[in-house]
Every structure is written in C-alpha cells, then in structure tokens.
C-alpha cells in the first residue's frame, strides 16, 4: 500500500504536534523530527552560554556549531522522543519556562533558521519522515506529500500545557500559561521570516475537546486519504 514519503504537520504552540507527530511516525514506521525541539535546543544552548536572544550573529554561529539529535524515547517518563544537545539529554530542559520565553525570538533569527532548515531538508530527503513545526508545509518542505495544520483554541492549549506540567510535578497558573501562548502566537504569526500560517494545500485538523487517540485518528485519516489518492 502506497504511503506519502513526507508528512508535514504544522500548527501553533501547544497544539499537540509533537505528541501526535511522534505517534503517526511510530504507527507508520517513519522517522520523526520535531523541528520545534531543534529551535528549543538552540535557545537552551544560548541561555547556557549567556547569549542575548536578539544577537543574530552569535546565535547563527551557535546554531551551526551545536549538535542536535532527536530519536526514540530512551527513558519511560512520558516523553514522546529524546533530544540530545551535544550529547546531553535535554528532552525536558528545552520545555522549561525560561526557554518558553526566548524560543520565538531565537527562531526568528534568519541565520538560525537557515542552519536548522538545511539540516531538516537533508533528513527529509531520505523519505519516510514525519516532520512537525510551524513552517514545514510552507517553507521547509513545500513539496511534502501531505500537509496537515494541527490546531486548537488558545484556552485549550493552555489547559493541555498545564496538565503536561502537572504530570511532571510543576504547577503554573492557567492564566499565565494562556498569556504565554498568546504571546507565542503573536510572535510566530507576525515574524517576517517564515510566519506561522497554514499552507494553501494543508488540511486543517481542529482538536478542541479531542483526546490524543481521537486526534491521532483524525490525522491518520488524512494520511489514508493520501494513500487512496495515490492508488487512483
């Protein structure tokens, strides 16, 4: 049965792209790449080195130097995948509040995006990949076989973020999380380079009120539709 070689899943912060994308890749036996985790890893490296999130030149050099690897979970602690930064497991460190505050600034630096996109396209060139992010279908892989825009309301995304943190023993006010998500949405959609928006040929999947299993099935239905189209 034919399947799309490349699947692009985009959407705003907290929409569940990483979780759903990892599950889709597992179901299909594909490589999974969360590009958001790559930008978070660069942001974390910048924080650790004391770099200003607006230092374009310094961040560009950093993005070209650091080694970022994303692979299957190595620890059973609820993670969908493992992220290594220069060999250090930073899977949860890149999800910290400190990284949340600066990642959109770091990600909009042209030199950083150039470095990350080059790596992402190289990996996608091998085929059989599920890639998630904010500009996969529009910029990174405009020729992807299937493009999905996964989204949910800001309130729903704040609720999910709160539950994710609570599961790790962290408690933060819902309103604070909502403000952060709205700020991220504004920065991501208003940036000049690769703004957040659905590709013209993307299929929008709205997940408000859906469980992870239900959202997964919605996305898999889109993938199966691709299979049907390829057989006709």
Q: How many Å apart are CA 203 and CA 188, to the nearest integer? A: 20
62 located within any domain: yes
Q: How many Å apart are CA 114 and CA 116, to the nearest integer? A: 6
82-85 and 88-89 strand pairing = antiparallel
Question: For 142-189, how does the pLDDT look when each residue is reduced to its tens digit (9 = 90+)?
Answer: 999 999 999 999 999 999 999 988 988 888 999 999 999 999 899 888
Return the ∠ at Cα 9 (arms to 16 and 2), rounded to 5°.
125
98 located within any domain: yes
With a cut of 70, say whether residue 229 has pLDDT above it.
no
Residue indicated by tokens 């374009």: 56
Q: What pLDDT sits at residue 12?
A: 93
Bridge partners of 203, per DSSP, are 148
More confident residue, 55 or 127: 55
Per DSSP, the residues of 167-216 read HTT----HHHHHHHHHHHHHHHHH-SSS-S---TTPEEEE-TT--HHHHH
230 located within any domain: no
231 located within any domain: no
For range 42-70, the mean pLDDT: 95
> What is the reported pTM?
0.81
Q: What pLDDT sits at residue 1?
A: 43
232 located within any domain: no
Q: How many Å apart are CA 112 and CA 191, to the nearest integer? A: 14
185 located within any domain: yes
Domain that holds residue 122: 6-225
CA distances from 63 to 38, 48, 68, 202, 224 (A): 9, 13, 9, 29, 36
Q: % helix / strand / coil in the chain, to the nearest 5?
A: 55, 15, 35
**Across the beta sheet with 68-71, what order do the strands follow?**
68-71, 82-85, 88-89
For range 205-219, the mean pLDDT: 94
With a cut of 60, say whether residue 83 has pLDDT above it.
yes
Bridge partners of 70, per DSSP, are 83
Per the structure, the count of domains in the chain is 1
Task: Categorize the per-residue pLDDT at 226 as very low, low, confident or very high, splitting at 50, 70 and 90.
Answer: low
Query: In sequence order, what are the residues at sequence separation of 6 or more whose Cβ sits closer than 8 angstroms to the Cβ of residue 103?
Result: 36, 39, 40, 43
13 located within any domain: yes
CATH code: domain of residue 199: 3.40.50.300
């Amino acid at each position: 049965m034919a399947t799309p070689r490349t699947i692009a899943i985009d959407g705003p912060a907290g929409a569940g792209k990483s979780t759903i994308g990892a599950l889709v890749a597992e179901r299909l036996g594909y490589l999974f790449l969360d590009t958001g985790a790559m930008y978070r890893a660069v942001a974390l490296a910048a924080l650790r080195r004391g770099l200003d999130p607006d230092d374009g030149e310094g961040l560009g050099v950093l993005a070209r130097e650091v080694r970022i690897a994303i692979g299957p979970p190595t620890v059973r602690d609820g993670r969908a995948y493992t992220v290594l930064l220069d060999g250090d497991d930073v899977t949860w460190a890149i999800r910290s509040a400190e990284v949340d505050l600066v990642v959109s600034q770091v990600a909009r630096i042209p030199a950083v995006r150039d470095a990350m996109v080059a790596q992402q396209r190289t990996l996608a060139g091998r085929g059989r990949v599920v890639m998630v992010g904010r500009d996969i279908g529009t910029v990174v892989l405009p020729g992807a076989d299937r493009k999905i825009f996964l989204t949910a309301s800001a309130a729903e995304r704040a609720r999910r973020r709160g539950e994710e943190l609570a599961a790790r023993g962290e408690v933060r006010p819902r309103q604070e999380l909502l403000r952060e998500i709205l700020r991220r949405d504004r920065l991501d959609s208003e940036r000049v380079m690769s703004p957040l928006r659905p590709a013209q040929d993307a299929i929008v999947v709205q997940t408000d009120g859906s469980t992870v299993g239900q959202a997964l099935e919605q996305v898999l239905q889109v993938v199966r539709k691709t299979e049907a189209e390829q057989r006709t």
